[in-house]
Structure 1
Amino acid sequence: MRKNYLLGMALMASLSFYSCDKEVIYVQDGNGVESVADGAQIITLQVENGGDGLATRAGRPLYSAEAKQTIENVKLWICDNTGKVVYVKEISNWNTDGSTVYTTGGHGRQTTIELKDMDKLAAGSYKVYAVGYSNSSDYVLTDVTNVAEDGNFSENMVLSLSNTVGEEIFAGQMEFTVETGKGFKKPIVLNRQVAGAFAYVKDIPFMEGAKYLKLVASAQNQSLVLGNFNSVDLAGNGSGNDANVKYVVNGENGKSGSETYEISSIDLNEWFTAIKDENGDNLIDAGDNWKNPYSSEGHPTFQKGSAFGGEFVIPFAHVDGKQTLTLQLTNAGGNVLRSWKVNLRSSDEQLDQTITCWNSVSTDWSTEVTDESANIYSLVRNHLYGIGTRMNDDPGEGTDPEPNPSDPDDQPESLNNKQELVLKVNDNWEVIHGMELD
């Protein structure tokens, strides 16, 4: 029989910007030391909880750096040394009755698969692959759903996106050898394959005609490549101090032209009853003029006077000489009334890293880049980039519509007189990057 553990985890950041941490799916036993009977082949799929949207869409919305998961499906393939698929397992309703909660060696959900009789693997070398995804996904998942037993598996799957924004998805792989007469219990970790970005702000300048706060980027990729996995269990949600943290841009099919890519758009009319400045402090009035657009749902909760917008993002490499992220205050027609550069902190570890990128021409991972500076940087896989500190979806715990303003884990960034935005990067999500407004 055979067990594997799948795990997923995630984390976010502050109005400093963060790089996406990860939600991970594992195939492993909780401690890595559990014994198995001779000849037993055991796979435990384990999804670890690690690391905007007003509109309904596939996958979960990004509200914070909270470690959680909402995927409905996990599919696993075992391939022999020729790449032929010899075993397939699909699990639906993963986040409900398809798995159970576990707390050994992490926290998340898991299920156990036992390979028996005709399903048992013969002696030889194998690779296990697994993908965790949502129902009604905006990705074109043909290469996932149609790969069956006796087919061939392509590790570097390219998934195009039918929408304009990213969607959370997990994947990972593991290699192992089966010896005659011996069993195995091996881990495979599925990490989040996308990045994340959000803006959590307060003290918004009043300008006549102001309607939107938009987070825009210098580039956009529209397809996601599942490969070059980081199939390890990273400790901590966005701690960024794990030696196994990787810096990977796994996107392709970039948007053409000079048009900027809009990651998220905050409609200020969703957060304030009127865009006005009656007290003359040059800021949009908060107090009784503020409202939580999610209050009817009971969550999430936000600091009074704040506004939030965020999305998952297909990773992209920086554009030479071009500001990577910008926060813009615009009118209804899109004219920019004021803008802030969003920068990584000069001490951010990402600026010292060589970033591995998918090369769509040679169809391999042969491209490497080094980020130019704190304002010209890449958005990498499983890192979260955020403005403001936002560690939980519901700091008001479902009952307080105005959470404690002194909570250090829930601090919107003030835009009043600010010239810099700071980004931070996370782990469970892998790393949390602190960002600055310029």
Structure 2
Amino acid sequence: MKKNYLLGMALMASLSFYSCDKEVVYVQDGNGVESVADGVQIITLQVENGGDGLATRAGRPLYSAEAKQTIENVKLWICDNDGKVVYIKEISDWNTDGSTVYTTGGHGRQTTIELKDADKLAAGTYKIYAVGYSNSSAYTLTDVTNVAKESTFNENMVLPCSTAGEEIFAGQMELAVEKGKGFKIPVVLNRQVAGAFAYVKDIPFMEGARYLKLVASAQNQSLVLGNFNSFDLTGNGSGNANVKYVVNGTNGKSGSETYVISTIDLNKWFTAIKDDNGDNLIDAGENWKNPCRPSSSPAAGTYPTFQKGSAFGGEFVIPFAHVDGKQTLTLQLTKEDGDSLRSWKVNLGSADEQLKQTITCWNSGSTNWSTSLSGESSNTYSLVRNHLYGIGTRMNDEADPEQPGVDPDPDSENPNDKPESLNNKQELVLKVNDNWEVIHGMELD
């Protein structure tokens, strides 16, 4: 499940096609500002693919750590040194006719915007902002859609959300325009949410079992767009010097109860919840089914596949800070009425890089990024922006991309598709994946 970027690297060769009396803003992958001869200025909007819920709703579902994007809209603003909006560009068909694929520097989709005539930028200091979002979004997007020319831009937009989270991209870049000189700079849009999934097999049989629920110690209900990490992170989940650890969620739910991130309905994965062979596990084999396979005759590669006998559930998540003394994630096997039959603690590995970090958090009281959070542990950890937290390994929507439409037999040796066994496990270890910045592998306890 990857990032949105404003990039122009793949378009450098195209500069020769522009005449010297045009101003164009050029956005490329990279982090430097490069002058262009003859005052040419070009903006290349690039949304980089990142990584990846199971539910069908606005925005793409999370089926794996695969780098992809399905947003329809990208909106860009250029603001002067006083924060006044001097230019706006909206693209409403981003993932179809509004952009093209690029592979130079990063990988994703891009388009170019030429500023000319009255839109040309005079000498001065500017900031470029951009947001990529879905149609019929679960976010309240008034702060995005209502920003008009000549208004003052709020670089810390707070977006309420009606779900646990939905994929959205954003980024910014500072720009210094010199008289008579052009420029080309990078403005990178990255994914603004976290992700969490459970990919499991060997599910214990218990009378009345119906759901596997991934529950969290906290839940934020609004996303803050700000404190961006505008870098082209070219390795999906590999991590690099530009990785950030940011909790950009706010408006947390009150109370002491846990909050369900995703729910796996076992009736959708198995014909019956039974144990005919007496091994204390839910029967797989012919009893298993892929709930994402359409009932018609679908074209291979148009739906996700899974290892036979497995079950999967995942969602994008508005980032939240850990709660001292509380287990951050737990996997629960429950009855239909919610009564818990068994549970597993889901922990970060003891060597996970996040445990060494101080987390930057949005301070809703003073409406800034002044809160620094330490004390991350294997049990109590934050879910941070653009990091993916997974039980089991699932790098692609297709269990085996070389065999589209095939649900492979159990115990596949594919290292990129390994559901975690729940048999005799006490703890689960989380793994985090990004283009996605980081993919965390989680441990079951």
* Aligned match for 2:393, one of 372, 389, 395: 389
Q: Where in structure 2 are the equivalents of 1:22-41 lying within 5 Å?
A: 22-30=2-10, 36-41=36-41
Aligned residue in 2 for 1:257: 255
* Aligned match for 1:243, one of 241, 244, 248: 241
TM-score by length of 1: 0.92
- Equivalent residue letter for 2:251: N
Q: Where in structure 2 are the equivalents of 1:338-377 lying within 5 Å?
A: 338-377=342-381
| CA 1:403–1:103: 2 relative to 1, 3 Å | farther
Q: 1:52, 1:61 within 8 Å by CA — same for their partners in 2?
A: yes
* Aligned match for 1:300, one of 292, 298, 304: 304
Q: 1:302, 1:403 within 8 Å by CA — same for their partners in 2?
A: no
Q: Where in structure 2 are the equivalents of 1:191-206 lying within 5 Å?
A: 191-206=190-205
* Aligned match for 2:314, one of 302, 306, 310: 310
- For 1:348 and 1:356, the matched residues in 2 are separated by 18
Aligned residue in 1 for 2:49: 49
- Equivalent residue letter for 1:62: L
- Give the Å deviation of 1:339: 0.1
| CA 1:54–1:385: 2 relative to 1, 3 Å | closer
Q: Which runs of 4+ in 1 moved over 4 A?
A: 31-35
**Higher mean displacement: 421-430 or 291-300:** 291-300
Q: 2:189, 2:230 within 8 Å by CA — same for their partners in 1?
A: yes
- Give the Å deviation of 1:403: 6.1
TM-score by length of 2: 0.91
Q: Secondary structure at the match of 1:418?
A: coil
Aligned residue in 2 for 1:140: 140
What's the CA shift string for 1:27-80, capped at 9, x where partnerless? 443465987341111100011123294532110000000000101000000000
Q: List runs of 5+ in structure 2 lacking aligned partners.
A: 11-28
Aligned residue in 2 for 1:107: 107
Aligned residue in 2 for 1:400: 406
Q: Secondary structure at the match of 2:82?
A: coil
Q: Where in structure 2 are the equivalents of 1:186-225 lying within 5 Å?
A: 186-225=185-224
- For 1:231 and 1:403, the matched residues in 2 are separated by 41
**Higher mean displacement: 74-83 or 32-41:** 32-41
Q: 2:65, 2:394 within 8 Å by CA — same for their partners in 1?
A: yes
- Equivalent residue letter for 1:267: D
Aligned residue in 1 for 2:233: 234
- For 1:194 and 1:43, the matched residues in 2 are separated by 25
Q: List runs of 5+ in structure 1 lacking aligned partners.
A: 1-9, 11-21
Aligned residue in 1 for 2:332: 328
Q: 1:24, 1:190 within 8 Å by CA — same for their partners in 2?
A: yes
CA RMSD of aligned residues (A): 1.5
- Equivalent residue letter for 1:414: S
Q: 1:41, 1:115 within 8 Å by CA — same for their partners in 2?
A: yes
- For 2:39 and 2:166, the matched residues in 1 are separated by 40
- Equivalent residue letter for 2:415: P
Q: Secondary structure at the match of 1:25?
A: coil
- For 2:53 and 2:119, the matched residues in 1 are separated by 43
| CA 1:292–1:338: 2 relative to 1, 3 Å | same
- Give the Å deviation of 1:170: 0.3
What's the CA shift string for 1:386-425, capped at 9, x where partnerless? 0000000012443313368111101000000001100112
What's the CA shift string for 1:209-265, capped at 9, x where partnerless? 00000000000000000000000111300002x111000000000000012110000
* Equivalent pairs, count: 416
Q: Secondary structure at the match of 1:321?
A: coil
| CA 1:371–1:63: 2 relative to 1, 3 Å | farther
Which of structures 1 and 2 has the larger relative contact order (alpha carbons within 8 angstroms, sep 6+)? 1
Aligned residue in 2 for 1:283: 281
- Equivalent residue letter for 1:346: S
Q: 1:301, 1:403 within 8 Å by CA — same for their partners in 2?
A: no
| Percentage of pairs with the same residue | 80
